[in-house]
Amino acid sequence: MYASWIKLKFSCENKGVVAPSYKTFAIAACLRDPYRQRLKRQGRRSAYALEPFHFELELKTPRHGDRPFEIGHIDHTGLDVELVCSRTGRVLGRPWMTLLIDAYSRRVPAVYLTFDPPSYRSCMMVLRECVRRHKRLPQIVVVDGGKEFASTYFEALLANYQCTKKVRPGAKPRFGSLGERVFGVGNTQFVYNLRGNTQIMRNVRQVTKSVNPKELATWSLAELHDRLCEYLYEIYDTAEHPALGQSPRAAFLTRLAETGEHQHRMISCDEEFLIFTLPTTTRGTAKVVGGKGVKIRHVCYWCEAFRDPEVQGRQVAVRFDPFDAGIAYAFVHKQWVRCHSEYYAVLKGRSERESMLVTEELRQRCRKHSETFGVTARQLAEFLQSVEAEETLLTQRLSDLESREIRLTLTTGAGTEGCSTVCHCSEKPTAQTDSQPRDELVVDEVYGEF
């Protein structure tokens, strides 16, 4: 400011004008528009905080849209918590969370958790989860300028189900204030209360080993996913929202009863929809090997169409189902055909949550041990059958196992009554053995000769 006043003083002296004092100049400079001043000094991104905002997108202003599922926001964020492998206890890093938020009611229809960075797979999986839970998709989907939202698969899925994609301006987070609000509340109320959260890493030079999040990490991906769904679908969904004056669930159900359910927008979660939402590999294709089929994510898949000599040895488009590791799809002879895994007996019938979390954890472990460890179909099958994998199964599976143990006990009987005649578990030592001295038991002529 002083240098600017010196320039002004020289200019006034050259033109024969009386220059203002430095105090007057400083007062006038402080009365300038803060937005324009910061825009010239630090650029548009720094001045964005002082830019006049759009009132319809602020937190406590009128809702977006006129009804539920009219406008939905999709956004990603990295959760501030370190996760561990449920089998080895090794720290695997921080997960990524993808949310779909209903703009009208601020409700969270779907959430997707993965170790992979944001990609079109995350976008398609969160839409698939929304259809599974609510049988419909938002009419307008608002996204940011990320390249994952510009993929062919994502746009084809929206176009096929008559959804309009709108891209909000870059470097202007207020247009996505709904998602930022949920991220902030979720971190404050849930994530920052977990062991292994990385909030302390803001002052990384002050972090010691005793408080390092990597040393305190406890949660696995499956356990965190269960608790995160419980928080978003039950706790956050039923708490009063300051912008609504009621809970998101109440606002959703009330307005849905007033405007109707719009049955023509319902989507059946059939095989056609599942294929549209299935992700593919990094290359998008896989080579057909005779007798083995195609290899997708370290697992071989086979179908009868691969017997055709014209298909063998060629690259075909493939898609896999992260919610069912037993099947995949390949584009052969201008149509999608279903392929079965070589370990279909082990991988079939796995629930969406189970197969997704186990597969993502194994992929992350493979990246950590890329030089010495490789995930194969056999290792995946063994992992699913191990005790640690059993701990991550659904509660219903555990309940069934407990019920089977009870049925076996009732069938075979309990205690010594169920022992066979050859069982000697209840026999007492004979008197001869008890009365025989200890030294005589040790000394044995035959043993000595041997």
Superfamily the domain 63-274 falls into:
Ribonuclease H-like superfamily/Ribonuclease H (3.30.420.10)
Comparing CA positions, the residue from 85, 81, 84 lying closest to residue 94 is 81
Query: How far is the C-alpha of 303 from the C-alpha of 80, rounded, in Å?
Result: 43
Q: Tell me, what DSSP letter sits at residue 115?
A: S
Instruction: Give start-end residues of each CATH 3.30.420.10 domain in the chain.
Output: 63-274
Q: Are 166 and 143 in contact (CB under 8 A)?
A: yes
Token pair of 19 as six digits: 């220059």
Q: Residue 108, by phi and psi: left (phi above 0), alpha (psi -120 to 50) or beta? A: beta
CB within 8 A of 426, min separation 6: which ones?
416, 419
Reference 97, options 118, 67, 128; nearest CA is 118
What does the DSSP assignment read for 143-173?
A: E-S-GGGG-HHHHHHHHHTT-EEEEPPTT-G
Angle among Cα 369, 383, 345 to the nearest 5 degrees reads: 130
State the Cα–Cα distance between residues 405 and 423, nearest whole angstrom. Answer: 22
- Look up the pTM and report it: 0.62
Q: Residue 340 is inside which H or E element, if any?
A: strand 335-341
Per-residue pLDDT of the chain (450 residues; tens, 9 = 90+): 899 999 999 999 999 999 999 999 999 988 888 888 888 888 877 777 677 654 444 444 345 778 899 999 999 999 999 999 888 888 888 999 999 999 999 999 999 998 888 888 889 889 989 999 999 999 999 998 888 888 888 888 899 899 999 888 776 666 767 888 898 889 889 999 999 999 888 888 888 888 999 899 999 988 999 899 999 999 999 999 888 889 999 999 999 999 998 888 999 888 888 888 888 887 889 999 988 899 987 788 999 999 999 999 999 999 887 667 788 899 998 889 999 988 888 777 665 456 666 667 777 777 766 544 445 666 656 665 664 555 555 454 555 555 565 556 555 554 444 444 444 444 444 444 444 444 444 444 544 554
Q: What 3-state class would DSSP assign to 305? A: helix
The C-alpha atoms of residue 293 and residue 286 are separated, in whole angstroms, by 9
